[in-house]
Amino acid sequence: MQISSQSRSCSSAHNMASKIIYFTVNGVPERAEFPEDCPAQDIKDLFRSAAEAGPHDILKLYNPKGNIINISPSLEPNGPASCYKLEVVAADCNSAEITGDLGFHLSSMEKRLQNLEKKVVFEAGETPAAVSEMKKQVDSFREKLESVEHLSWLGFFKDLSEGRPKPSPFYHKRSLHKTREECEHVREKFLQMSSLEVSEELRQYLKTPTFDNWQWEDAEIMVLLQLMYTDLDLLSTFNIEPEVLQQFLFEVYRRYNNIPFHNFKHCFCVTQMMYGLIWLTDLRSKVENVDLLIMLTSAVCHDLDHAGYNNAYQINARTELALRYNDISPLENHHCAIAFEILQKKESNIFRNLSSDQYKRIREGIIKCILATDMTRHNEILNKFKSILHGFDFSNKEHKDLLMMVLIKVSDISNEARPMEVAEPWLDCLLQEFFNQSDVEKLEGLPVSPFMDRDKVTKPSSQIGFIRFVLLPLFVELANLFPCLEHHIIDPVRKALDYYTEMEKALDKEKQNWAQEAPEARQNLDQKPQNQKPSDPRRTPRTDVSGI
């Protein structure tokens, strides 16, 4: 890739017909040139280079009308008089630069340490003492920082007035609940953007399982959710006022917490997959509009006020939720209750113009769908669905109810159906949330689920069994009803299974190699003179890690 201050181009731009794109970055004019068949990722890297953006930063490209457009090979060539506008947005608080008198980036330091640890463990089969010591130093430094109340510029929103809080997800970076200032900032931006016209390219992209959620910030996500309701004709059909829908979406955003996985972006991903499945399977011609409204709204609300601890923790810790719901799907019952608490307010009740019978049907449907996301009911729902597949009847309410439950279950666990560059960061987030919970369970003396224990779980071990025994059987049955889904969701999941299977084989091979080398290495160490520094093969990387 050729880079200069005036022109930026893909390296193969001179081999065939190319496009020239004019744009500005922070008011500075730039010019990009790339072949018409340049891969999408190369084009994104080109713009990322132009903006001098980090790998975790979000790039936003606006056309002259102010509409967000996708950075892709289909970008329309333009001239200097009609420049696009490129903006860089930090992906999250982890990627935001932490600067000042410290003289370094704390988040960057943590990421480099994590990458180094992964690489060394891969080579050595275990974490060397030196890396463990480094981790302790980083944790110690973070602990010192979080005890200093005035360091709010670091992005720490913790309230220290009540002493040291109980360990919880993101407790060292953000409070569990969003601050009023944070919400108002996003609300204002959402309302400013809500009337913008969305390009046809983005509308079509939104209907596909390949949609990349990581490109979008919260205010933009609300615009896209609003678009889903509009494009399914739900506003006109059910007389939903746009301002009421906007208030509903804002209240939903406000009630998703700052936790690694079950957050507002997860809400969007599940809803976007549900929306895509509706279009891919042509459900609009098979079910009533009220069913579409139930499915979309259930997806939006399905994890409201999730605090990052699953039902097993709620029950074992005898939390308020477990006591309130008698250990029966505490979280899912809570999500439903919060949803209808939002819908109880006139200004955010998108169902306020419906008849009593319509509301009763919608409430029943939403409760059924959200409660179906409790994974303890997985086999029950899957077996019922399999039993009716042969004679499935779209006019049969029981059949449709089961289908809607399966659709929200598929959407809820659909990350592995997405491209690997979208799916794998979600797995990192999920494992972080799992590990946070298991750490707390160990501290409180509660049972620890093996699949959440950071000392027992690896990426491949966490995914292989889940894909093989939970995800694929569910997806395959849905594809039996809608064969078109074979290509869209089954094939990517099988590729993901192959990917993690190969990763596990590589890890096992490294462990075997180390097991064979270890006795010889120990013997060599014993034979070395005491005044000579030993050469431990575990400390000698087989590849160059100087860039980490």
30 in Cβ contact with 23 (< 8 Å): yes
Residue in 429, 418, 380 with CA at minimum distance from that of residue 402: 380
In three-state secondary structure terms, 71 is coil
Q: Which two tokens stand for residue 367?
A: 């409760």
Residue in 199, 203, 197, 375 with CA at minimum distance from that of residue 276: 203
Given the residues 150, 262, 378, 487, the one annotated as active site: 262
- Per-position DSSP letters for 150-202, written without gaps between them: T-GGGT-----TTSSPPP-TTTTTS-SSPPHHHHHHHHHHHHHHTTSPPPHHH
44 in Cβ contact with 71 (< 8 Å): yes
Distinct helix (H) and strand (E) counts, the chain: 21, 7
Q: Is the dihedral of CA 235, 237, 238, 241 positive or negative?
A: positive
Helix (H) or strand (E) holding 28: strand 28-35
Residue in 218, 221, 219, 240 with CA at minimum distance from that of residue 229: 240
Cα→Cα distances 71→44, 132, 278, 479, Å:
6, 41, 26, 31
Strand partners, 31: 22
- Give residues with Cβ within 8 angstroms of 164, minimum separation 6: none
Cα→Cα distances 165→82, 154, 162, 172, 305, Å:
52, 18, 8, 10, 19
Q: Is 14 a catalytic residue?
A: no
In one-letter notation, the amino acid at residue 62 is Y
CA–CA separation, 382 vs 228, rounded Å? 27
Q: Residues 453, 313, 434, CA angle at the centre, nearest 5°?
A: 35
CA 374 to chain centre: 19
- Give residues with Cβ within 8 angstroms of 530, minimum separation 6: none
Q: Is the dihedral of CA 322, 328, 331, 336 positive or negative?
A: negative
In three-state secondary structure terms, 261 is coil
If you search the block for the tokens 């042969």, which residue do you land on?
Answer: 390
Cα→Cα distances 61→68, 96, 388, 405, Å:
6, 20, 47, 37
Strand partners, 86: 25, 61
If you search the block for the tokens 């990421």, which residue do you land on?
Answer: 111
Active-site annotation, residues:
262
